[in-house]
Amino acid sequence: MKKIALAVSAIMLSAVTVAMAAGDPIATRKTLMDANGAAAGASAAMLKGDLDYNPAVAKSAIMTLRAVAHSYGSFFPEGSDKGDTKASPKIWSDHAGFEAELAKFQADADAAAKASGKDGPADLTAFKAAVTPVLGHCKTCHQDYRLK
């Protein structure tokens, strides 16, 4: 299972690398959000009991969320509000607010990674305590900075 989790992370990061190489910030944002969504989905499945808890999968999800938290904000240059994007114009009109939300996402993702230790959270309770604050930022950011 650990090998599967590592393979999934490698695939997600490869997709991000391809999008970044294309020099398209909108495509990169979408790829990062796809990775974030996959990590959030795996996390939610374990939290709901739809997927058996696995510390390696939990660690992979947390580290993916953390990687997105630390890279996502770099892909909102001026002019990237046009085109096939769901990014709200509020990102650019309230950039300080967006940066503040991103900083909270990063801090909670860092704390979750630290709490995970080397091998992932020891059990579902530890995973829930680590990942729940991180996942809370998904909802907040989507409400405030994503077009419906």
Which domains occur in the chain, in start order? 2-145 (1.20.120.10)
What per-residue confidence (pLDDT) applies to 18? 52
3-state secondary structure the chain: CHHHHHHHHHHHHHHHHHHHHCCCHHHHHHHHHHHHHHHHHHHHHHHHCCCCCCHHHHHHHHHHHHHHHHHHHHHCCCCCCCCCCCECCHHHHCHHHHHHHHHHHHHHHHHHHHHHCCCCCCCHHHHHHHHHHHHHHHHHHHHHHECC
Residue 12: how many other CB atoms lie within 10 Å:
21
For the chain, the distance separating the N- and C-terminal CA atoms, rounded to the nearest angstrom, is 36
Q: How far apart are CA 16 and CA 20, in angstroms?
A: 6
Closest CA to 132 of 6, 17, 43, 19: 43
Q: Which residues pair with 87 in a beta bridge?
A: 146
- The 10s digit of each residue's pLDDT in 50-99 is 999 999 999 999 999 999 999 999 999 999 999 999 999 999 999 999 99
- The 10s digit of each residue's pLDDT in 5-20 is 555 555 556 555 555 5
- The 10s digit of each residue's pLDDT in 34-51 is 999 999 999 999 999 999
CA distances from 33 to 38, 44, 45, 76, 83 (A): 8, 16, 18, 13, 17
Residue found under tokens 């996390």: 43
